[in-house]
Chain A
Amino acid sequence: MRVSVYGSGLTALVTAWALADVGNEVLLWPGRQETLRKLRQLVLGFDEPGLKDRLKEQLITGRLLAAETETHAFVHGEVHCLAYKSTDQLQAEALCERLAKAASAPIVLLNQSTFPVGTTERLQQQMRAKRSDEAKSVTCLALPSFLQEGAAIQGFTRPQRILLGSDSCGTGAEEVGLKRVQELLRPFNRNHERWLGMSTREAEFTKYAINGMLATKLSFMNEMANLADQLQVDIEQVRKGVGSDPRIGSDYIYPGCGFGGLSFSDDVMRLAEAVEERVEDSYLLSTVLQTNRQQKEVLFRKLWQLWQADMQDKTVAIWGASFKPGTDRIDNAPSLTLMQALWAQGVTVRLYDPKALEQVAQWAGARADLACCDGMYEALEGADALLIVTEWKEFWSPDFERMAQLMPSRLILDGRNIYDPGYLQAQGFRYIGIGRSNGVEI
């Protein structure tokens, strides 16, 4: 099938690759000439494991091409996949209007962008209004993206569900559009039946609700962890107990120093603010976000209390800056909030992250109180404490002896609870986790 994909973010690139990989002829329009140039040189602007090589492969086969202009993409696609960032809604709407004017064939648009609930429906109305000829039909469908940074390829090719929203009321063109998209996605729906059909609004809202639920689970467990600190209870034992209940499950209940990430945090924020104009605020989700904002500073607060509210001229090592392991993305990452809090108190930060250092340097600009270190041990040199913010694999079993030598204070604050408190204590470390009842009270 001939497919046009619009966008330059994770969802757009993974979609373009995956559709080309199963034999479709894919034309990718990233939205801007400048982004197009970068894409041709395979500069993606983010780091997703395996994606770059796979894109290169498909560009070589010629099944994936970058479009010269958007008009090429308009006339190419039998299906048009719209995967713009949630912040680029206006540009996306303008693009769709141009598409409606330019394409001569019936249009099937698959909206993968995270826009407010009701957008797909509205896009369809707007595009139909731009079509002069009734025969030139427009069908818009919603395919909310559930891709997770770091596991996006697997997420697209072996999805846990394919949630497809359509507002077909049985007219010929709409049925044809729906069938065409189902055919397009058939290769990813082989082993089990993953289809979940519903209206476009329902599909869009489901995505928000899922993320809201996950965020609520996380913030709830973080609140439990803060209580555990005061009640002489180890939250890790409690977590295992809670997770053993099948009604709750063991995912998204790991206490830690807050969650971040571009789409996850943004989606929850949007949901909390207003899922659609004229919908009332959600108090529960506002609280979830508020809790998370405070949680991002939890390591700071523990250190503040430990050091008696005087941190001037201290040096702190931070391991991990990306919002989760496996990515270089730092959008809404707890590390950023933490560093700002430390800097404001006159602390120098020595930061190590396997991938995100460049992003942090760009975000922070040149400053004397930030040293980006090439190695995790280098970051410990001269540090008065180590803060673990992202649970990269290489942090799980470090050389504790070497750490003790580099950091005579032997103070570790673990924002991801990756170590065994008893073992670290035996090694002579002062170890403070999240909700592990072995640190200062909050």
Chain B
Amino acid sequence: MTVKQSPAWQALEQHYRAQISNLDLRQLFDQQADRFSSLSFQQPGLLLDLSKQRLNQQTLRLLIQLAEQQGLDSWTKRLFDGEAVNSSEGRAALHTALRAPRGRDNLAEGVSVTADVHANLDKMAGLVEKIHNRQWRGFSGKPITDVVNLGVGGSDLGPQMVCHALEEFRVEAAADLRIHFVSSIDGSQLAELLKHLNQETTLFILSSKSFTTIDTLANADTARGWLEEKIDNPAILLRQHFIGSSANPQKMSEWGIDPANQLQFWDWVGGRYSLWSVIGLPIALLVGMTGFRQLLGGAHQMDQHFQTTPAATNLPVLLALVGIWNHNFLGSRGHAVLPYDGRLKYFPHYLTQLEMESNGKSVNRDGDRVDYDTCPIIWGEVGPNAQHAFYQLLHQGTQPVSCDFIAPVLRYRENTAEGTGETLRQQQSLTLANCLAQSRVLMLGDHALSDQERRKLTRNDQRYPGNQPSSTLLLQELSPFSLGQLLALYEHKVFVQSVIWEINPFDQWGVELGKQIANKTRSAIDQPDYRFDESSTDGLLDFIGQIQADAQEES
């Protein structure tokens, strides 16, 4: 019996048909006067409002029964206890241990990891201090002014998203330090960047869990070649210009990373959960170790909340169950993440990896095909900008889409440029107004207008059907701590959904085959006679080969 045939799932389907399908959100509000107070939930500095979701108290009760039926409590315990919840790779997924305070012991598959975690954080703190003190020297003895993070996927998206979000928390010691992110395998970011950097004062961080990622190693080779233009002594080049962050010390050493510059994390940290580890070095360089530890502290607060709070008031659980409801019962195929804060610009990109790489799967933990939908398509953009882009589809398109609206309440209270404080605070009010207005229009459609105003809408393209569900997440303020809370909230949301869907969220077999075939295709590009067994790739290769040959002739 799959979960779809299970009693709790069936009860939800029946509940949908009997009580929800014929009601729209406007009617749900009419039915229950205290809808907001009974469907909004708080944690220190956070409010999650689910009252704009197409559900009622009964729905939540049934969803929680589904979670219970799926053994959520025991899975959560196994997650935190460091059991091998990553079944296909036989590993724990213990990112929560990365943010646990020193005094708290954590076991991964029975072995304590606390000492290792803190030893590497301390080693990272030492490197950060040296760079902040301007005592990390390039080959000529000048202090480092530019740090370039070479990494892709989890080694890029997480740190970059956080650095962008926390720029205003930059510490004084990093005032003159520039931090860059380079990920793309085509070298386009690096090619432009290196034109503006100086070998004397540039330090590269090679971030790769496996240390075999071709994207990152290709960029690293280019960086190394650039340094070799100025540095004859390879030992100095490596020692003064490369730091490595990886779960594979042996590969780091083989590549040439000096042992003193090796920062380590472990197999039990998934790449997309690794910003809390030494992969967070760029974050620590920006906000200092104090800020970095506040980020960890926020995540730890959410860990404890998730671990100890009953489902009925547990934010990650509720956020996850509402998602299940929308995708599996209301039929929405897409989920938009809409931060009303430019600092969270990269948050949707980060979530696309976190959610879709974790739960974009069609095989359950036992290796059987599932007969229900799993992760929807996640996308997003800074809300006010997206209003001028894809909101048209949200308001008047043909398919149901669910949305998360995210906004900080307080902003621009200090440290604004001269003469901008007042106007910026007004802009913040305007932003909040837009956030609330959009979720209201998605919910009510043109019923957001007075009846009199509504009657003036005579054409169909002026009408808004509404009834699009959304959650709203308000942060008191964006800070390292609250950002830590927010990220951990979504991490656990993803975990809870995986438990409902009975899938392993910690592997990603779906990204392997492409890498493998790329290697073969690489040789095909270099050898003109190589043939595949289908005409499309062959045809494209011929076209590429022809253009390359022509270009060679010209030069």
Q: Does A300 contact B (CB under 8 A)?
A: yes
Q: Does A344 contact B (CB under 8 A)?
A: yes
Cα distance, A344 to B134, chains bound together (Å): 10
Which residue from A300, A309, A344 sits with its C-beta under 8 Å from B236? A309
Residues of A within 8 A of B236 (CB): 308-309
Q: Does B114 contact A (CB under 8 A)?
A: no
Q: Does A305 contact B (CB under 8 A)?
A: yes
Q: Does A301 contact B (CB under 8 A)?
A: yes
Which residue from B135, B139, B140, B142 sits with its C-beta under 8 Å from A340? B135
Q: Are B141 and A301 in contact (CB under 8 A)?
A: yes
Q: Are B130 and A344 in contact (CB under 8 A)?
A: yes
Also in contact, A297 and B130, with CB within 8 A (given A308-B236, A309-B239): no
Q: Does A94 contact B (CB under 8 A)?
A: no
Q: Are B133 and A344 in contact (CB under 8 A)?
A: yes
Which residue from B130, B133, B135, B141 sits with its C-beta under 8 Å from A305? B141
Cα distance, A217 to B426, chains bound together (Å): 49
Residues of A within 8 A of B135 (CB): 340-341, 344-345
Interface-central residue, B135, B140, B141, B239, by most chain A CB under 10 Å: B141
Residues of A within 8 A of B328 (CB): none
Nearest chain A CB to B184 CB, angstrom units: 31
Q: Are B139 and A309 in contact (CB under 8 A)?
A: yes
Q: Does B137 contact A (CB under 8 A)?
A: yes
Cα distance, A308 to B135, chains bound together (Å): 16
Q: Does B51 contact A (CB under 8 A)?
A: no
Residue of B nearest to A442 (CB): B140
Interface of chain A, main secondary structure: helix
Q: Does B326 contact A (CB under 8 A)?
A: no
Q: Are A309 and B240 in contact (CB under 8 A)?
A: yes
Nearest chain A CB to B51 CB, angstrom units: 51
> Which residues in window 405-440 of B have CB below 8 A to A?
none
Residue of A nearest to B136 (CB): A344
Q: Does B527 contact A (CB under 8 A)?
A: no
Q: Does B233 contact A (CB under 8 A)?
A: yes
Residues of A within 8 A of B140 (CB): 301, 304-305, 442
Q: Are B133 and A301 in contact (CB under 8 A)?
A: no
One digit per residue, 1 when the CB lies within 8 angstroms of any chain A CB and 0 when it does not, for chain B 99-136 equals 00000000000000000000000000000001001010
- The range of chain A's interface size is 10 to 19
One digit per residue, 1 when the CB lies within 8 angstroms of any chain B CB and 0 when it does not, for chain A 294-321 equals 1001001110110011000000000000
Nearest chain A CB to B228 CB, angstrom units: 15
Q: Are A301 and B130 in contact (CB under 8 A)?
A: no
Nearest chain B CB to A435 CB, angstrom units: 16
Residues of A within 8 A of B139 (CB): 309
Residue of B nearest to A344 (CB): B135
Residues of B within 8 A of A341 (CB): 135
Cα distance, A344 to B130, chains bound together (Å): 8
> Which residues in window 329-356 of A have CB below 8 A to B?
340-341, 344-345
Nearest chain A CB to B236 CB, angstrom units: 5
Residues of A within 8 A of B142 (CB): 294, 297, 301
One digit per residue, 1 when the CB lies within 8 angstroms of any chain A CB and 0 when it does not, for chain B 37-65 equals 00000000000000000000000000000
Cα distance, A442 to B133, chains bound together (Å): 22
Residues of A within 8 A of B239 (CB): 309
Residues of A within 8 A of B133 (CB): 340, 344
Residue of A nearest to B233 (CB): A308
Q: Are A297 and B233 in contact (CB under 8 A)?
A: no
Interface-central residue, B130, B135, B239, by most chain A CB under 10 Å: B135
Q: Are B130 and A304 in contact (CB under 8 A)?
A: no
Residue of B nearest to A337 (CB): B134
Cα distance, A308 to B233, chains bound together (Å): 9
Residue of B nearest to A343 (CB): B135
Residues of B within 8 A of A302 (CB): 141
Enumerate chain A interface residues (CB-CB to B < 8 A).
Answer: 294, 297, 300-302, 304-305, 308-309, 340-341, 344-345, 442
Enumerate chain B interface residues (CB-CB to A < 8 A).
Answer: 130, 133, 135, 137, 139-142, 233, 236, 239-240
Residue contacts A-B, CB under 8 angstroms, 13 given: A297-B142, A301-B140, A302-B141, A304-B137, A304-B141, A305-B140, A308-B236, A309-B137, A309-B233, A340-B133, A341-B135, A345-B135, A442-B140
The 9 closest A-B pairs by CB, nearest first: A301-B141, A344-B135, A304-B141, A309-B236, A309-B240, A300-B141, A305-B141, A309-B139, A304-B137
